[in-house]
Chain A
Amino acid sequence: MSTQGKLRVIGKARRRVDGRAKVTGLTRFADDIVLPRMLHCRLLRSPHPHAEILEIITGKAEKLPGVHLILTGKDFPVTFGIMPVAQDEYPLANGRVRYVGDPIAAVIAKDEQTATEALDLIEVKFKQLKTISNPEEALQNPEPRIHDYGDQGNIHRIQSYEFGDVDEALAKSDHVFDDLFFYEGNTHLPIEQHASVAAPDGEGKLTLWSSTQVPHYIHRALARALQMPASHIRVIACPNGGGFGGKCDLHNHEIVVSRAALKLGRPVKICLNREEVFYMHRGRHPVLMRMRTGVTKDGKLTGMHLQTLLDGGGYGSYGPASTFYTGVLQTVTYELPRYKFDACRAFTNKPPCGPKRGHGTPQPRFGQEVQLDKIAEKLKLDPAELRLNIVAKPDTLTANWLKIGTIGLAECIRQATARSDWKKKFRKMGPGRGIGIACSSYLSGAGLPIYWNKMPHSGVQLLADRSGQVTVFCGATEIGQGSDDVLAAMVAEVLGMDPYDIRCVTGDTALTPVDLGSYSSRVTVMMGNAAIQAAEKLKAQIAEAAGEQLEVIPSRLSFSDGRVFVTENSNKSLSFKEAVEFAEVKFGTLGAVGSYTPPRAPGRYKGAGVGPSPAYSYSACVVEVEVDQATGWIAVPKIWIAHDIGRTVNPVLARGQVEGSVYMGLAEALMEEQVFRRLPPKMSHALVHKIPSLLEYKSPTSLDMPEIDTILIEDPDPNCPFGAKEAGQGPLLPVMPAVANAIFDAVGVRIDELPITPDKVLKALELKAAGKNPRVGPERFPLVPYPKSIFVLPPWEGGDGKESKRDDAVAVV
């Protein structure tokens, strides 16, 4: 894409285009919307983890003054789900509840208080069912089934892929490392609680304002859920007060308020309270992992067999994709000749898990990076050197047929180690102090949409007129990450404008071209490419008209600082506004569109659609820790992180994304856990979220944050707009394993599970003192009935990207 010439906007540190509204409180979030005659909705949620609903008695609640409507499961006969293969939810329970918090009934009343009072008047009769609290129980108890679909019993998805003969590779290795890891689940914790307002327009059409990252997907799914034509529905994504993947599903409350608004002919609002956000969840899956990795004596990887077991919670959500993501990106960071990946996602009676920042990849990334540290220790190699020697090569294919373009990982490792004085510190900091390193890679946008189609992933439309204004329309969603700023910057750069003079209209399915949404770190690359294309088209029109006026051919014109001028003679110029006027005379009303579709991925086997991306970002992170040997107390004084961003669009925002990732990563490393409590089974069926509150679900405060040294590595990627890759998710990934590795450097103990808490460190220190294996982590991996693998030959073994017979390999090996 267009990257020629000196850049005037891209790469400059700027206040974000929507920054003033954010800090002065003028940004209008979904809960800020107040409409005339608006009513309020509250949901009655299940107190039981698994039960049949025998009867719902709403008479008393209906009679409460101020109550307008009560809805139950019978008002919602159609299932929904964000993925076409997991249509397993009802907006309100249809005869069965699957976790504490599953919605059963809705009250729409004159205010929240009245609606809440009415909830207490609804009587529900239940028949309790056996409860499944974790994947092992799900494997042991195929009955009762939580869902009547799925691969078997209480297994939602189970699959196996093998890229080259891994057993053979491991057998030929100098060493095989066999490790178990566990990554506890955690939630997104956006500060904005989900809110939605639905309003009918008088013609039977519906508008939904919502805290959503994916208005286009919501638009499609809502049409199905309401059995209404999508053309009669308008979804507006309000700016989100944080998303992190938690606002990527169609949510039950969005359907409920839509139905209620249509029934009542009045606007209806809901805003979840914090407990309800914990129940909505769709967060990080708890994952148990077994990782067998072969290495040569000089530290080259020969093959890896990864097995994962995911705790999916009560519904599908993005689970089928999450299941793939616990394995598919293991091949993108380091050279890995052969790879086998088994995955299983179980249903349990807990809030459904889904995509959280890094979607499925932080768990195996944690395992791999800690295992590499163990490999380096055993082979007596410096873990940074070991990684430098195996960094994947640019412009290559991986064993599972992913196409790597640019890769700045080696430079990330060099910079992070140089800035942290790695060589002087590693194994030399003295007792209780240590340093650790880890690396990672991530998608800059998923190569395929969540529903199969060949249409663009992002569209941008531009309007310019005689006032000199430029408005850019795009379905992309501002969730705090700065997508509006990227959009304005791209257009401003091409048209030579000030980004603050560009108006962004985004995330509105009635006004903006389709963009698939703010997920998978796709916005900068996909929206950016579409925006450049649209802006270049508009620029060509303006240049043609301006060229006539200035009597030069359009290619001799430059656009900069709000002017159009002859490149060799800047005195011959027009203001941008004048140039637009001439273009409007010449062409009539001005407008241009651009769109973007990712390149086709080389993999041809079933399942090859998860993992491809136009570009992969890379990060290297060094963490310093202090560990008190008497208490296990952990302090993190400093973190260095280098991120291969391709090109920085706005350094202020890019650094913010990286620092935010470090914050979230450190939280997952040391504190956050979405854990559940069972009471003594003889006395109670309860299975409740242990700590559904901002106070007791521990996430670091600003006082707990270390100093962060952020290093942006620029190596422009030709697939990306001005070369810019993602920065919003990748930098989270190396933080957790770097913390674990630093703790080993400090006190010589391995904590192979997250979060790493002082009690685990102290326990491992006590094991160490007793001469036992100084490790805390999972002890066993259950028997999981993984199927026979889909076998695919790696590119270098004569494969063609399709599934092949295992024997095909014999000839080349």
Chain B
Amino acid sequence: MMRLPWFDYRAPRTVAEAAKILAGEGPGAMLIAGGTDLLPNMKRRHQTPKVLVSLRGIPSLKSFSNGSGVAFGSGLTLTEVIRNEKTPTALYQAAAQVATVHLRNSGTLGGNLCLDTRCTYYNQNHEWRKAIDFCLKKDGDICWVATASKRCVAVSSTDTAPALIALNAKVILEGVPGQREIPVENLYRNDGIDYLSRKPDEILTQISIPGGWESTYWKLRRRGAFDFPILGVAIALQFSSEKIIQEARVALGAAASRPFLLEKASEFLKGKKLSDDVIAETSTLIASRAKPLDNTDMDLYWRKEVADDFAGYALRELRGDDMRATRLRIARFAV
């Protein structure tokens, strides 16, 4: 089997201690929470950290609080997030469709937010990558997806991030100098290599979500389990009593190197009712921002063509249409 490279393992008990180790070790250290993304990547020599700083032994990262909104510790597993009755719908639907039961039992919410970007030229073992003389993201000079590209176009593949962006969530990043809170969309950069705005010595400790949203997440992938998203549509709305949209936030995942907020589509929805025409027009607006590349599963032109259908599913579900049969056909289980 593929074996892990050698590394030192540190198990701090507090965030401050972890931040200190990170700052002291410099770029050779990496954080590990559930390890479901990092360990396979290490076996394939994508990352070969000299030191792994484990977050599993830090009790504060397992916190949950419920006030005007909800706040999750980043170390809660996806299973714990799913089982929490206060989890907003879009986040629940996103977390419930990550990978498999086993991986959700180990993988954490913070880990899913910091998930490495993915690409079919990158997520291969060392020998395979040698056979293509490597790629821009790791050990090579060329992006084989777009050979003229100076930028790595690996895809953001987190399910929970678009859901949290739509829900207007914020994350807390803690380092030795102190902590800062930023909107989830600002955690990401549209660069397949340097995809997080998190500083190397910062730790993502908490995710807070304001209340009041009706939300949904629709995931496109080939199978009912295991697969990363090849498109994620997250929408959160606030309605007036007359079903007029007061606030709207639309986010896309797996459509670029970062998950992102669609300001235009969000703006367009405000003050409107979800009529068939509004849904169709919004879906077109949303789909125009999905620019898939040939670096994930399934035909890229097809992925582009169905983006508006998935946007439509999300909007119709928020309107109150019964989408259970469609959900079952797409997700292969009742989400």
Which residues in B have their C-beta under 8 angstroms from that of A693? 123-124
A38 beta carbon closer than 8 Å to chain B: no
Question: Are the CB atoms of B131 and A703 closer together than 8 Å?
Answer: no
A757 beta carbon closer than 8 Å to chain B: yes
B222 beta carbon closer than 8 Å to chain A: yes
Residue of A nearest to B142 (CB): A683
Residue of B nearest to A631 (CB): B306
Q: List 23 A-B contacts (CB under 8 A).
A: A48-B131, A116-B3, A275-B127, A626-B329, A628-B329, A633-B306, A633-B329, A633-B330, A684-B132, A686-B133, A688-B128, A688-B131, A693-B123, A695-B123, A698-B223, A700-B223, A701-B223, A701-B225, A703-B223, A757-B299, A759-B299, A759-B302, A762-B302
B298 beta carbon closer than 8 Å to chain A: yes
* Least CB distance, A58 to chain B, in whole angstroms: 18
* Least CB distance, B308 to chain A, in whole angstroms: 9
A690 beta carbon closer than 8 Å to chain B: yes
* Least CB distance, B271 to chain A, in whole angstroms: 28
Q: Which of A273, A630, A631, A703 contacts B2 (CB 8 A)?
A: A273
The distance in angstroms between the C-alpha atoms of A255 and B239, with both chains bound, is 70
Question: Are the CB atoms of A758 and B144 closer together than 8 Å?
Answer: no
Known: A100-B131, A703-B223, A703-B224. A692 touches B306 (CB 8 A): no
* Least CB distance, B333 to chain A, in whole angstroms: 5
A168 beta carbon closer than 8 Å to chain B: no
Chain A, residues 599-633, CB within 8 Å of chain B (1/0): the string is: 00000000000000000000000000010101111
Q: Which of A691, A696, A701, A762 contacts B224 (CB 8 A)?
A: A701
* Least CB distance, B95 to chain A, in whole angstroms: 17
A156 beta carbon closer than 8 Å to chain B: no
B309 beta carbon closer than 8 Å to chain A: yes
A688-716 residues at the B interface, CB under 8 angstroms: 688-693, 695-696, 698, 700-704
Known: A275-B125, A696-B123, A701-B225. A759 touches B130 (CB 8 A): no
Chain B, residues 100-130, CB within 8 Å of chain A (1/0): the string is: 0000000000000000000010011101101
Which residues in A have their C-beta under 8 angstroms from that of B297? 696, 698
A112 beta carbon closer than 8 Å to chain B: yes
A280-307 residues at the B interface, CB under 8 angstroms: none
Question: Are the CB atoms of B127 and A47 closer together than 8 Å?
Answer: yes
Known: A112-B3, A626-B329. A757 touches B298 (CB 8 A): yes
B301 beta carbon closer than 8 Å to chain A: yes
Which residues in A have their C-beta under 8 angstroms from that of B224? 701, 703-704
A370 beta carbon closer than 8 Å to chain B: no
Question: Are the CB atoms of A692 and B124 closer together than 8 Å?
Answer: yes
Question: Are the CB atoms of A45 and B302 closer together than 8 Å?
Answer: no
Looking at chain B, what size class is its interface with the partner chain?
A: 20 to 34
Chain A, residues 630-657, CB within 8 Å of chain B (1/0): the string is: 1111010000000000000000000000
Residue of A nearest to B303 (CB): A759
B250-309 residues at the A interface, CB under 8 angstroms: 297-299, 301-302, 305-306, 309
8 additional A-B pairs beyond A693-B123, A758-B302, beta carbons within 8 Å, are A100-B128, A113-B3, A631-B306, A686-B132, A689-B128, A693-B124, A695-B227, A758-B298
The distance in angstroms between the C-alpha atoms of A113 and B4, with both chains bound, is 8
Known: A275-B128, A686-B132, A762-B305. A680 touches B147 (CB 8 A): yes
Which residues in B have their C-beta under 8 angstroms from that of A684? 132-133
The distance in angstroms between the C-alpha atoms of A758 and B230, with both chains bound, is 14
Which residues in A have their C-beta under 8 angstroms from that of B125? 273, 275
The distance in angstroms between the C-alpha atoms of A684 and B121, with both chains bound, is 14
Which residues in A have their C-beta under 8 angstroms from that of B127? 45, 47, 275
The distance in angstroms between the C-alpha atoms of A695 and B306, with both chains bound, is 23
Which residues in B have their C-beta under 8 angstroms from that of A686? 131-133
The distance in angstroms between the C-alpha atoms of A696 and B301, with both chains bound, is 19
The distance in angstroms between the C-alpha atoms of A696 and B124, with both chains bound, is 10
Instruction: Kindly count the residue-residue contacts between A and B in the assembled complex, taking CB atoms under 8 Å apart.
Output: 93
Which residues in B have their C-beta under 8 angstroms from that of A48? 131
Q: How many positions in chain A have a CB within 8 Å of any CB in the partner chain? A: 42
* Least CB distance, A498 to chain B, in whole angstroms: 38
Known: A100-B131, A631-B306. A704 touches B301 (CB 8 A): no
Chain B, residues 132-173, CB within 8 Å of chain A (1/0): the string is: 110000000010100100000000000000000000000000
Which residues in A have their C-beta under 8 angstroms from that of B243? none
Chain A, residues 756-771, CB within 8 Å of chain B (1/0): the string is: 0111001000000000
Known: A100-B131, A631-B306. A271 touches B1 (CB 8 A): yes
B13 beta carbon closer than 8 Å to chain A: no
Question: Are the CB atoms of A759 and B332 closer together than 8 Å?
Answer: no
Q: Which of B306, B309, B332 contacts A704 (CB 8 A)?
A: B332
* Least CB distance, B321 to chain A, in whole angstroms: 15
The distance in angstroms between the C-alpha atoms of A47 and B131, with both chains bound, is 4
* Least CB distance, A776 to chain B, in whole angstroms: 12
Residue of A nearest to B133 (CB): A684
The distance in angstroms between the C-alpha atoms of A692 and B123, with both chains bound, is 10
Q: Which secondary structure dominates chain A's binding surface? A: loop
A54 beta carbon closer than 8 Å to chain B: no
* Least CB distance, A798 to chain B, in whole angstroms: 53
A388 beta carbon closer than 8 Å to chain B: no
The distance in angstroms between the C-alpha atoms of A289 and B2, with both chains bound, is 39
Which residues in B have their C-beta under 8 angstroms from that of A702? 225
The distance in angstroms between the C-alpha atoms of A384 and B227, with both chains bound, is 37
Listed from nearest, the 6 A-B pairs whose CB atoms lie closest are A703-B224, A759-B302, A759-B299, A47-B131, A703-B332, A635-B329
Which residues in B have their C-beta under 8 angstroms from that of A275? 124-125, 127-128
* Least CB distance, B2 to chain A, in whole angstroms: 5
Chain B, residues 307-335, CB within 8 Å of chain A (1/0): the string is: 00100000000000000000001101100
The distance in angstroms between the C-alpha atoms of A692 and B44, with both chains bound, is 13
The residue among A112, A271, A671, A758 with the most chain B CB atoms within 10 A of its own CB is A758
Q: Which of A45, A112, A628, A688 contacts B132 (CB 8 A)?
A: A688
The distance in angstroms between the C-alpha atoms of A631 and B312, with both chains bound, is 12
Known: A633-B329, A679-B144, A684-B133. A701 touches B302 (CB 8 A): no
Residue of B nearest to A272 (CB): B1
B226 beta carbon closer than 8 Å to chain A: yes
Residue of A nearest to B312 (CB): A630
Which residues in A have their C-beta under 8 angstroms from that of B332? 701, 703-704
Which residues in B have their C-beta under 8 angstroms from that of A757? 298-299, 302
Which residues in B have their C-beta under 8 angstroms from that of A692? 124, 128
Which residues in A have their C-beta under 8 angstroms from that of B3? 112-113, 116
Which residues in A have their C-beta under 8 angstroms from that of B301? 759
Chain A, residues 94-122, CB within 8 Å of chain B (1/0): the string is: 00000010000000000011001000000
* Least CB distance, B183 to chain A, in whole angstroms: 31
* Least CB distance, B149 to chain A, in whole angstroms: 13
* Least CB distance, B53 to chain A, in whole angstroms: 23
The distance in angstroms between the C-alpha atoms of A690 and B297, with both chains bound, is 11
Which residues in B have their C-beta under 8 angstroms from that of A116? 3
Which residues in A have their C-beta under 8 angstroms from that of B309? 628, 630-631
* Least CB distance, A74 to chain B, in whole angstroms: 23
Which residues in B have their C-beta under 8 angstroms from that of A701? 223-226, 332
The distance in angstroms between the C-alpha atoms of A784 and B89, with both chains bound, is 59
The distance in angstroms between the C-alpha atoms of A680 and B294, with both chains bound, is 14
The distance in angstroms between the C-alpha atoms of A688 and B125, with both chains bound, is 12
Residue of A nearest to B43 (CB): A273
A25-82 residues at the B interface, CB under 8 angstroms: 45, 47-48
Residue of A nearest to B221 (CB): A698
* Least CB distance, A491 to chain B, in whole angstroms: 39
Known: A684-B132, A701-B226, A762-B302. A696 touches B1 (CB 8 A): no
* Least CB distance, A604 to chain B, in whole angstroms: 49
Residue of A nearest to B332 (CB): A703
Which residues in B have their C-beta under 8 angstroms from that of A758? 298, 302, 306
A672-687 residues at the B interface, CB under 8 angstroms: 679-680, 683-684, 686
* Least CB distance, A794 to chain B, in whole angstroms: 45
Which residues in A have their C-beta under 8 angstroms from that of B131? 47-48, 100, 686, 688
The distance in angstroms between the C-alpha atoms of A45 and B126, with both chains bound, is 12
Q: Which of A47, A690, A759 contacts B120 (CB 8 A)?
A: A690
